[in-house]
Structure 1
Amino acid sequence: MLSWEMRSYRVAREQTGRPVFFDRGVPDTLGYLRLSGLPVPQHVSSAAERFRYHQRVFVAPPWPEIFAPDEERKQTPDEAERTYHALAGVYTELGYELVPLPLAPVEERLRFVLAEAGLA
């Protein structure tokens, strides 16, 4: 997972002049290790410090109203809640500002993200 996120980061950096939004990032690896109760190797912590994203990070809090397991989302609501808090904690520790997405239809969330990113 870490090497994939580092690769995605590097590829995006090569695309100059265009904003890029990530669904996952290097710090997620650290969060998933902690969530699983596994030790965090030094190279993972170092990568999370080195591969920096924009200061403001959009996060989608777990929303029971729209939660539905499917082929992509296999977590239970409880697992999703724990995952959210683990990942949000890591991003906060790394100095990112978390911007929660509104509980709204997709188009409204898109408008929100574009406006918050200064792209609307």
Structure 2
Amino acid sequence: MPDPRIAISGCSGGGKSTLLDALARRGFATMAEPGRRIVAAGGPMPWDDPAGFARRAIALALADLDAAARLPGPVFFDRGLIDAVVAFEHATGEAAPVDPANRYDRVFLAPPWPEIHVVDDARRHGMDEALAEYARLEAAWPGFGYAVERLPKIDVEARADFVLARLEG
């Protein structure tokens, strides 16, 4: 069996990237969020071309999954294919051009956490939009056959400990 692929999904501003940074500091392989990479590369931007952004995010998520197959040990993904599929379907009203089922071995969902949510150059939407996105993701993951584990609202090192303990158990 290949090494596990673990998706960290959920609410924008819910601490996903911070958690991935903590896991990376502990020596685990991680894949950065496709959306932030797209924005950093100059687009397409989600606020100008949401469908183009989602198409690009799907392509990056698929490439990340391929790259992860060559990495030893568990690989943690900051968002991923389901997030991109949900964004595509929300932007276009069409079914995504890829089946996202059976790509990840475990899924952790970061719940809404208004106290740590911030708006920046790559995340321009506020808490209301983040909550709507979270509701779509919370429904989508199980709809594609995934069991979802909710992350507790605790400091980042305790969150990393929680994830690793769940993987061991």
Compute the TM-score of the two structures, normalised by the length of structure 2.
0.61
Matched residue type, 1:68? V
Question: Partner of 2:82 in structure 1?
Answer: 27
* Range with greater deviation from structure 2 (61-70 or 31-40): 31-40
Extract unaligned runs of 5+ from structure 1.
none
Question: Partner of 1:52 in structure 2?
Answer: 103
Higher relative contact order (Cα pairs below 8 Å, separated by 6+ residues): 2
Extract unaligned runs of 5+ from structure 2.
1-56
Instruction: Calculate percent identity across the aligned residue pairs.
Output: 35
Alpha-carbon RMSD across the aligned residues, in angstroms, is: 1.8
Cα distance in 2 between the residues matched to 1:112 and 1:87: 21
SS for the counterpart of 2:145 is coil
Cα distance in 2 between the residues matched to 1:106 and 1:71: 23
**Structure (1 or 2) with the greater strand fraction:** 2
* Range with greater deviation from structure 2 (20-29 or 70-79): 70-79
Cα distance in 2 between the residues matched to 1:76 and 1:52: 30
Q: Per-residue displacement from partner, 1:72-107 (whole Å, max 9, x unpaired)? A: 332210110111111221111011111111111111
Q: How many residues align?
A: 113
Question: Partner of 2:167 in structure 1?
Answer: 117
Show the 5 A alignment for 1:1-120. Answer: 1-16=57-72, 18-36=73-91, 38-41=93-96, 43-44=97-98, 46=99, 48-49=100-101, 52-54=103-105, 56-118=106-168
Q: Per-residue displacement from partner, 1:25-63 (whole Å, max 9, x unpaired)? A: 21222211233352124x23x2x13x5111x30111111
SS for the counterpart of 1:83 is helix
